[in-house]
Amino acid sequence: MSFLKSATRLMALAAMTLGLTACGINDIPTQDEQVKAAWSEVQNQYQRRADLIPNLVATVKGYAKQEETVLKEVIEARARATQMTLPADILTNPDAFKKYEQNQAAVTGALGRLLAVSENYPDLKSNQNFLALQAQLEGTENRIAVARKDYIDAVQRYNTTLRTIPTRWTAAIFYPDAKPRETFSVSAKTQEVPEVKF
């Protein structure tokens, strides 16, 4: 009789274990860590870009002294982006996330204007330091795009897991503090169709 009791207990334990793994109990923390890792990569790439800006500005300043306004915009945008204190809950705080996104978009816009201004200076465009910095910046912008995409994908998986059944119930029971994460959006200005004039 004790063998039958032990076998029944073992079967019950196996069924419970199978039930817990099937309900996604490990999916939530696993995907939460993936979101955090993807967010860290986004921040790393933005920091890489911020680190390139002083050298780029110094190189352009030597050739385009009359472009002080554009150079100042780049420096100020970088300062706002790098001096922003990120709250611990930035991934679940829509206002803080939006402000962070806006600061980074301002850097992107200012750099775009700076590179457009460089077209007016043939000596600058042929300067090896400028060409190397421009190539690094372009590579970094590509890395930022990839990091943002990876982050968006990780958030989409995580948020879907938190909102679908049965993992929604699992989250409510085992991870009551788990909240959907914020994701990047495309600004209305970016979505506008450019006006082409001939």
pLDDT digits 0-9 by tens, 44-93: 999 999 999 999 999 888 888 778 888 999 999 999 999 999 999 999 99
Contact residues for 130 (Cβ-Cβ < 8 A; gap 6+): 56, 59, 60, 63, 118, 124
Q: What share of the chain is helix, strand, coil (3-state, %, to 5)?
A: 80, 0, 20
Nearest residue to 155 (alpha-carbon basis) of 41, 43, 38: 38
Contacts 24+ apart (CB under 8 A), 75-79: 76/110, 77/103, 77/106, 77/107, 77/109, 77/110, 78/50, 78/53, 78/54, 78/107, 78/110
pTM of the predicted structure, to 2 decimals: 0.81
Q: Check residue 20 and give its pLDDT.
A: 53
Domains of the chain: 28-183 (1.20.1440.20)
* pLDDT of 174 above 80: yes
* pLDDT of 191 above 60: no
Q: Check residue 46 and give its pLDDT.
A: 96
pLDDT grade, residue 197 (50/70/90)?
Answer: very low
Q: Check residue 189 and give its pLDDT.
A: 55
Mean pLDDT is lowest, of 11-25, 84-98, 159-173, for 11-25
Contact residues for 49 (Cβ-Cβ < 8 A; gap 6+): 107, 111, 137, 140, 141, 144
* pLDDT of 150 above 80: yes
Collapsing DSSP to helix, strand or coil, 87 comes out as: coil
pLDDT grade, residue 198 (50/70/90)?
Answer: very low
